[in-house]
Amino acid sequence: MKPWTIALKDTLIAFRDRNAILLMIAAPLMISMIMGAAFGNMGGNTSPISEISLIIVNADKGELGKNFTEIISSIDVESSEGIKPLFAVEEYIDKDEAIAQVEIGKARGVLYIPVDFSTHVENRGESVNPPLLEVYTDPSASISPGIIRGVVQRIVNGFNTISIGNNVAVEQIFENLDENSAQEIYANLENLEEIIIAENESFGKVEGRRERIIITSKTLGAGEDLDLLGYFVPSMSIFFLMFAAFEGTRSILEEERDGTLHRLMITPTSIIEILLGKIGGTFLTGILQFVILVAISALLFGVHWSDSLLPLILLTIVTVIAVTSLGAFLAGFSRNANQAGILGSTLNLVFAILGGNFILTTAFPDWLTIISKLTVNRWALDGFSTLALSHGTLINILPNIAALLGMAIFYFTLATVLFKRRFIK
Amino acid sequence: MAGFILKADNLHKNFDEFKAVKGVSFEIGEGEIYSLLGPNGAGKTTTISMLTGLLSPTSGNAYLNGFSVREDVNRVKEIIGVVPQEIALYPTISARENLSFWGKMVGLKGKQLSERIDIALEISGLADRAKDQVETFSGGMKRRLNIAVGLLHEPKIIFMDEPTVGIDPQSRRRILDTVKSLNENGMAVLYTTHYMEEAEELSDRIGIIDHGKLIAQGTQEELTQMVGEFDTIKLNIGEIENIEERAKKLCKLPKIENAFGENGDLMLQARDANEVLSEVIEHLNNVKIKIHSLKIQEPNLEAVFLHLTGRALRD
Ligand SMILES: Nc1ncnc2c1ncn2[C@@H]1O[C@H](COP(=O)(O)OP(=O)(O)O)[C@@H](O)[C@H]1O
Ligand SMILES: [Mg+2]
């Protein structure tokens, strides 16, 4: 009962402190975002549904490529600001240069029309290698890739149906295309959302589906945005969990310094109950901090923490226990609150670097890997990564849970010995 | 005679080689206010720490309501209230949250807890600031809350360790009045201070403590009788440099027993003030010190301390 009262008091103090909230919740989320953005795979800002900047690289030697370009340029949509072209088309000669524009965010997509496009269509698909229309889209955009792919697809559909069977002159094909396909596209733009959804779903299966003209679509950077956050958010959460937990256990020494520990000892409460309360408060605060981080990052940034809840819960609990025990050991070891603060920050940083919170441990040489595996951070981070990135299950993280529990027991035992020597005479 | 609520029996406390308390014995009757008066470092806090079970005595024992602080420390803790010398509160939570927490720690809960919190807020005059964070309080308000926490469980005896150090006059007044009204409701008080006026105003009995020893104790009358045959002359000479050295020089004049200077006042003790006055005035004239006022005082506790130790009672 008394330990519970103390634990609740400490949790109240932690969550009442604006700076603490900043450190516990805001900092890990913000740093994860910054790191994610630094790798260029963040965003998801709203794409305009008119004047989507599209670069067309028309390498086609014949007329059809030019025609294709014209069709795309002529599609209009009704936007809130009146009739506008759907695409703001720019033409480039060099494909790589065009792709670079997408990568730096200057354009939403690239359409590459290959050299033999006209020849192939004019031969009604009898050439050996069907031409490859290439579409590159901006990975950070959520809407425009679907539109670009959808429109290109529809125009190509027109080519395919028309060029099958009938001996139609090339000019006619394009008249038809112009009137039918373009109109169809235009009509369908009212169902823009459906197009996007359908296209995004079929995206990836597109390749090879069409007989006559093959479209390959690539999202530049291959959709690593969520994966990156799936690494950084747990990583930073562990790092800042440790900060908060060390603050929590350090408050034992602060209470000693500020006289509230003495006051607690004057109440009918044993020192063991007091210490249990303090450590329990750190644990409780840590659990709350982690739950909030998981919830916010999942809801706001779509971070996928785990396929199922149970392994995530267990891993969170043992991680917080391990970090809290380490903090308790540190507090027992330090002469005063000041020293505990300095030791804590140092250890936090060293453990974070060794444990892979900042540097990927895959690059570590063998000897460093061994040292790395002595840290709480490494086992916790590996565990969370297994759940978030490799769709791991409870079985996969059992070694992590065992290692973290082992460390918790080790540090807690040390802490008990130190506290006994210090407080129990 | 009513029983003793507190009995200290030859308490000693050593910190390694250093002897902080050297055999302190005294009793406090039920409903009595007892002051430990002594300068900083005299051993007041150390004594209180032993009486409240925070430090175990090197030797000797103390009993509260008959329970030994050595054997029955948990029973002792239930009947005592403690107001520590340092403000021991959580600054980042509100006054009410502090009271609620400390109330639970002494075993209060539910309706009783919230009633006691209201009373404590009333006593400390903080009812309208109950929801504010303690760190926004003035020094005096913090001291009052510090006291209120010690009163929550209505202890039989409350220990107040220098509760008025470094606060404004109004808060000080309020605290002294609080002590008196608590006492009128039957609470015994152990009050430590180095301000003689506070000890004089509050106490039924006073123990004068210096260098870890109780050098005298009794009622104020009993104590001042010890210097009854002396006159104390108080000369106001304004703020000047080296006032202590001036006092020491005056001490060398014949027939002056003790002298010290503080805050622009020179205090002299002699068997007969009239015998020494002319010499003192002449001496001050010679060194060109102007006397603003001169008073021959009734013997007080300051004089007692001066008489017993040859030193001033101050920090
Ligand atoms: N924990 C301690 N360790 C060593 N010396 C101490 C300790 N506590 C107090 N002292 C010393 O004991 C003496 C009495 O201190 P204290 O009881 O705090 O005096 P007071 O409360 O009257 O000012 C002082 O000289 C102080 O320095
Ligand atoms: Mg003291």
| Claim to verify: residue B284 and residue B158 sit in the same structural domain | no
Q: Does the C-beta of B41 come closer than 6 Å to ligand 1?
A: yes
Neighbours of B6 (CB within 10 A): 25
| Claim to verify: residue B170 and residue B45 sit in the same structural domain | yes
Q: Which of these three, A219, A250, A284, is where a domain ends?
A: A219
Atom of ligand 1 nearest to the CA of B13: 12
pLDDT of residue A193: 54
Most confident of A79-83, A227-231, B289-293: B289-293
CB neighbours of A233 closer than 8 A, spacing ≥ 6? A28, A29, A32, A293, A297, A301, A303
Q: Does the C-beta of B40 come closer than 6 Å to ligand 1?
A: yes
Residue A269 sits at the chain B interface (C-beta within 8 Å): yes
Predicted confidence (pLDDT) per residue in A387-411, tens digit = 988 788 899 999 999 999 999 999 9
- pLDDT tier at B289, thresholds 50, 70, 90: confident
Neighbours of B213 (CB within 10 A): 16
| Claim to verify: residue B180 and residue B272 sit in the same structural domain | no
What average pLDDT does range B103-129 have in this prediction?
Answer: 94
pLDDT of residue B262: 75
Residue A287 sits at the chain B interface (C-beta within 8 Å): no
A364 or B312, which is more confident: A364
Euclidean distance between CA atoms B142 and B98, whole angstroms: 11
pLDDT of residue B305: 86
Nearest to A411 by CA among A322, A302, A298: A322
What range defines the domain where residue A322 resides? Answer: 3-40+226-423
Number of domains in chain B: 2
- For the record, the structure tokens of A411 come out as 């540090």
| Claim to verify: residue A115 and residue A156 sit in the same structural domain | yes
| Claim to verify: residue A160 and residue A255 sit in the same structural domain | no
From the list B53, B89, B97, the residue facing A266 with the nearest CB is B53
| Claim to verify: residue B141 and residue B285 sit in the same structural domain | no
The answer to whether the Cβ–Cβ distance between A259 and B84 falls below 8 Å is yes
Q: Is pLDDT of A205 > 60?
A: no
| Claim to verify: residue A193 and residue A270 sit in the same structural domain | no
Predicted confidence (pLDDT) per residue in B7-30, tens digit = 999 999 999 999 999 999 999 999
Residue A2 sits at the chain B interface (C-beta within 8 Å): yes
Residue A425 sits at the chain B interface (C-beta within 8 Å): yes
From the list A9, A16, A267, the residue facing B106 with the nearest CB is A267
Give the residue from A19, A263, A269, A276 with the most B CB atoms within 10 Å of its CB, the best one to mutate: A263
pLDDT of residue A28: 92
Q: Is pLDDT of B290 > 90?
A: no
Number of domains in chain A: 2
- pLDDT tier at A208, thresholds 50, 70, 90: very low
- For the record, the structure tokens of A316 come out as 């969170």
| Claim to verify: residue B211 and residue B189 sit in the same structural domain | yes
In a domain, A47, yes or no: no
| Claim to verify: residue B163 and residue B209 sit in the same structural domain | yes
**B77 min Cα distance to partner chain A (Å):** 6
Atom of ligand 1 nearest to the CA of B161: 21
pLDDT of residue B306: 81
Euclidean distance between CA atoms B277 and A181, whole angstroms: 123
Q: Is pLDDT of A344 > 90?
A: yes
- pLDDT tier at A226, thresholds 50, 70, 90: very low
What range defines the domain where residue B42 resides? Answer: 4-224
Q: Does the C-beta of B227 come closer than 6 Å to ligand 1?
A: no
pLDDT of residue A227: 65
The answer to whether the Cβ–Cβ distance between A260 and B89 falls below 8 Å is yes
From the list B54, B92, B104, the residue facing A265 with the nearest CB is B54
| Claim to verify: residue A142 and residue A180 sit in the same structural domain | yes
- pLDDT tier at A172, thresholds 50, 70, 90: very low
pTM: 0.70
Q: Which residue has a Cα nearest atom 7 of ligand 1? A: B15
pLDDT of residue A378: 94
**A331 min Cα distance to partner chain B (Å):** 20
Q: Which of these three, A177, A203, A219, is where a domain ends?
A: A219
CB neighbours of A236 closer than 8 A, spacing ≥ 6? A27, A28, A29, A31, A32, A35, A357
The answer to whether the Cβ–Cβ distance between B87 and A425 falls below 8 Å is no
Read off the CATH number of the domain in which A196 is found. Answer: 3.40.1710
- For the record, the structure tokens of A149 come out as 């792919």
Sign of CA dihedral A159, A160, A162, A166: positive
Most confident of A190-194, A212-216, A361-365, B36-40: B36-40
pLDDT of residue A165: 39
Q: Which of these three, B171, B206, B224, is where a domain ends?
A: B224
- pLDDT tier at A183, thresholds 50, 70, 90: low
A150 or A219, which is more confident: A150
Angle at A25 between CA A24 and CA A27, to 5 degrees: 85
Euclidean distance between CA atoms A348 and A341, whole angstroms: 10
- pLDDT tier at B61, thresholds 50, 70, 90: very high
Read off the CATH number of the domain in which B117 is found. Answer: 3.40.50.300
pLDDT of residue A142: 61
B276 or B250, which is more confident: B276
In chain A, the percentage of residues whose pLDDT exceeds 90 is 43
Q: Of the given ranges (A159-173, A325-339, B282-296, B301-315), which has the lowest mean pLDDT?
A: A159-173
Q: Is pLDDT of A191 > 70?
A: no
| Claim to verify: residue B95 and residue B138 sit in the same structural domain | yes
In a domain, A162, yes or no: yes
- pLDDT tier at A212, thresholds 50, 70, 90: very low
Which secondary-structure segment (H or E) carries B11? strand B4-15
Euclidean distance between CA atoms B232 and B269, whole angstroms: 5
Closest residue in B to A259 (Cα–Cα): B88
